[in-house]
Structure 1
């Protein structure tokens, strides 16, 4: 009988990723990201303020 412990699987942590982080994770530049969003092929950005947007980290990871 083995006495191995199994680590619990934690749900992914939701963070807001700014555009530079999304570009780094996907390898896409701003124009391509917005083009894909317009076509419905990329997660929509969340409005953070008048001139700021971000993306849900979990949505980006699932998309990748």
Structure 2
């Protein structure tokens, strides 16, 4: 019998928060390129958690990757 998944109406789906090294791995670009693209509005902006910690929603990073695969805006 398959397991049932119970959700609360209006529940927000879980989205992992990625730190910069994970973003670099997922997107295939390095730190300097990540921040340059953020400044140009061509990459998702990070979410500041604390003064020294910024993270990216995994869904936003993966959506950017899919756009690149489909021939979206060139990041160079």
Q: TM-score range by the shorter chain?
A: 0.7 to 0.9
State the 4+ residue runs in structure 1 displaced beyond 3 angstroms: none
Aligned residue pairs total: 53
Which ranges in structure 2 are unaligned for 5 or more consecutive residues?
A: 1-12, 66-76
Which structure has the bigger radius of gyration?
Answer: 1
Preserved contact between residue 13 and residue 58 of structure 1 (Cα < 8 Å): no
Q: What TM-score does the superposition give when structure 2 sets the normalisation length?
A: 0.66
How many angstroms apart in 2 are the aligned matches of 1:23 and 1:63? 12
Q: Give the SS at the match of 1:58.
A: helix
